[in-house]
Amino acid sequence: MPIKIDSKEAALKFIEDHDTFLFDCDGVLWRGNTPLTHSADTLKLLRSKGKQIVFVTNNSTKSRKQYVNKFTKLGIDAKADEIFGSAYSSAVYLDKMGTFDKENKKVLVIGESGLEEELHEAGFKTLGGADPALNRDFGPEVEKYAIRDESIGAVVCGLDLKINYLKIAYAQANLRDPRVTFLATNVDSTFPATDMILPGAGTVIKSVSFCSGREPDATLGKPSKAMMDCILEKFKLDPKRTVMVGDRLNTDMKFGANSGLDTLFVLTGVDKVEEANKFGVDPTYYADKLGDIFELLE
Amino acid sequence: MPIKIDSKEAALKFIEDHDTFLFDCDGVLWRGNTPLTHSADTLKLLRSKGKQIVFVTNNSTKSRKQYVNKFTKLGIDAKADEIFGSAYSSAVYLDKMGTFDKENKKVLVIGESGLEEELHEAGFKTLGGADPALNRDFGPEVEKYAIRDESIGAVVCGLDLKINYLKIAYAQANLRDPRVTFLATNVDSTFPATDMILPGAGTVIKSVSFCSGREPDATLGKPSKAMMDCILEKFKLDPKRTVMVGDRLNTDMKFGANSGLDTLFVLTGVDKVEEANKFGVDPTYYADKLGDIFELLE
């Protein structure tokens, strides 16, 4: 059973035992567009004690730069360098694979502008993404997209609110060539919006995957170990002094546990501490909310 | 090993042993928009001998009436009553389930006009389908579609060349209610078009299925037994005197074999007779092409 952080002593020890704090965002720092009580204050407290902070999000629609705006709007200090999203993670992964011919090959992006932006920053040339030429019905004049384009060396898929048949056909036609790398930013089945649940990135991945007869060569995003490896390497972290904070058992908690990190489970999301067994995870700590740490030490 | 129909005697016996001939269309009668040699003549020959003919197609985008036009264009006689498509099959199935409250509930159609038409003919009220209101980007003004509509009692999904995020969200929001029936017209991963392979109905089904966390309650279309049961019942057929003719081992041949029918495998599609073992099927007969029957008896 996880240790509950409900005393000043527990909160102090939690802070002392770790140098780096990885944070899931939605359900931990905010819900939808509402900041959660004292989350921002807890982050400030950690910073004042010289702790390192990294924000880890599966949202692939925004680049790190775009994500900073969201933090600012919600009154939370964050630098682009502290944010680790699945779009950035995909770009880093493709780069590290070392087999992609950046000079002569392009990446087909099925996803939004954030994903494109991260790939461009990493030096990749892209096709697809937010290109308005793809926002149209399938028909004779766009059939060319359903034919293999030899300039494409990888297909990277993420959440795309403008997904359509043409884009699926475009991805499929190129994925039929086994030499083309297939990356998925994440495979979340849904994501919570204000008052509703919406289809997640996994919806796009599953359709592309099914018609092309291929599974992604790698899936970034929590809980994948590929993403954690990218984080640990980029920030040169000691896993023993790092803790993952999140509200989801099967993504955040599994993500931390899979790499031997301590984990803090907060109850401001949909999951309950009693459900931990169901997902085969055992968080190190839990708290009613992240803001409790600030409140206990105030 | 299947018996090859390559002599007058074999062709005659094949005809004499059966009263009803079920035909797959693409790859048997035509390929793309080109009629296959003497296929139409073979159908005429069978008709002249008083044989019953049924056309069985997984194409859910056209209603039976719409499909007749395709036959006529390709010079083949066919009546709407002889055509059994997965759209029609879905309407019949939903009707036969007997649990759907036609008066007070509607069917959400994720698919094209043919599917809508068949549901209307069977007396269902529908939403979605070819409604142009759904052909738009997801955003605040269409968020209402991502919220459960209590008037919807079933979601029927098929191939939709205008599939988009809004439609997927619409289906998902309603499928989260376990009282809503979920039918798939068919789950073909792809379909062949002229010079290219395109994503099939299964692509739509898999995305809707993944984000709603549900598998279809029934999948119509070959090789599902649900479709064969509909056919056998509608035409009051004797399975022992019925033969299924097709070019695909894992759909057409499996479809016939699953219900104990004789099967004729024709080599005018992509599959080869040597591959039968791979799909665990053993056709009763095979022929280079359907037109051979006409040619052998000419």
Q: Do B210 and A202 touch (CB under 8 A)?
A: yes
Choose, out of B137, B177, B211, B212, the residue to mutate when testing the contact with A (most A CBs < 10 Å): B211
**Residues of chain B positioned with their CB less than 8 A from the CB of A203:** 168, 207-208, 210-211
Is the pLDDT at B119 greater than 90, yes or no? yes
Domain boundaries, chain A: 3-58+223-297, 99-219
Over residues B55-72, mean pLDDT: 93
At B8 the pLDDT is 97
At A255 the pLDDT is 96
| Residue with token string 């994501």 | A191
Backbone angles phi, psi at A251, to 5 degrees: -115, -70
CA distance B236 to chain A (A): 36
**Where does A99-219 sit in CATH, by number?**
3.40.50.1000
Nearest to A146 by CA among B195, B73, B88: B195
Q: What count of Cα atoms within 13 Å lies in the side-chain half-sphere of residue A283?
A: 30
Q: Do A197 and B143 touch (CB under 8 A)?
A: no
CA distances from A188 to A192, A254, B241 (A): 11, 14, 50
Q: Do B168 and A210 touch (CB under 8 A)?
A: no
Judged by DSSP in three states, A190 sits in strand
Residue A288 is labelled as binding a ligand:
no
What are A231-256's pLDDT values in tens digits?
A: 999 999 999 999 999 999 999 999 99
Query: What ipTM was predicted for this assembly?
Result: 0.91
Same fold? A3-58+223-297, A99-219: yes
Q: pLDDT above 90 covers what percent of chain B?
A: 89
Instruction: Work out the pLDDT band at B277, boundaries 50, 70, 90.
Output: confident
Say whether B26 is catalytic.
yes
Chain B residue with Cα closest to A201: B211
**Where does A3-58+223-297 sit in CATH, by number?**
3.40.50.1000
Q: Do A206 and B204 touch (CB under 8 A)?
A: no
Say whether B101 is catalytic.
no
Residue A222 is labelled as binding a ligand:
yes
Low-confidence spans in chain A with pLDDT less than 70: none
CA distance B132 to chain A (A): 12
Q: How far apart are the first and last CA of chain B?
A: 27
At A33 the pLDDT is 84
Cα(A22)–Cα(A267) distance, integer angstroms: 17
DSSP codes joined into one string, A104-133? T-EEEEES-HHHHHHHHHTT--EEETT-GG
At B223 the pLDDT is 94
Chain A residue with Cα closest to B206: A207
Cα(A14)–Cα(A26) distance, integer angstroms: 22
At A195 the pLDDT is 80
Is B192's Cβ below 8 Å from some Cβ in A? no
Over residues B81-87, mean pLDDT: 95
Residue B13 is labelled as binding a ligand:
no
Out of B162, B173, B193, closest to residue A165 by CB: B162
| A 117-176 residues with CB < 8 A to B | 135, 137-138, 143, 146-147, 160-165, 168-169, 172-173, 176
If you classify domain B100-219 with CATH, what class do you get?
A: alpha beta
Q: Which of B6, B17, B19, B24 is catalytic?
A: B24
> Would you name the residues of A annotated as active-site residues?
24, 26
At B94 the pLDDT is 95
Choose, out of A164, A207, A214, A219, the residue to mutate when testing the contact with B (most B CBs < 10 Å): A207
Number of H-type helices and E-type strands within chain B:
10, 16
At A97 the pLDDT is 84
Over residues B291-297, mean pLDDT: 98
Out of B138, B196, B210, closest to residue A203 by CB: B210
User: Among positive and negative, which fits the CA dihedral A269, A273, A277, A278?
Assistant: negative
Q: Do A161 and B172 touch (CB under 8 A)?
A: no
Chain A residue with Cα closest to B189: A211
Q: Do B173 and A197 touch (CB under 8 A)?
A: yes
At A160 the pLDDT is 97
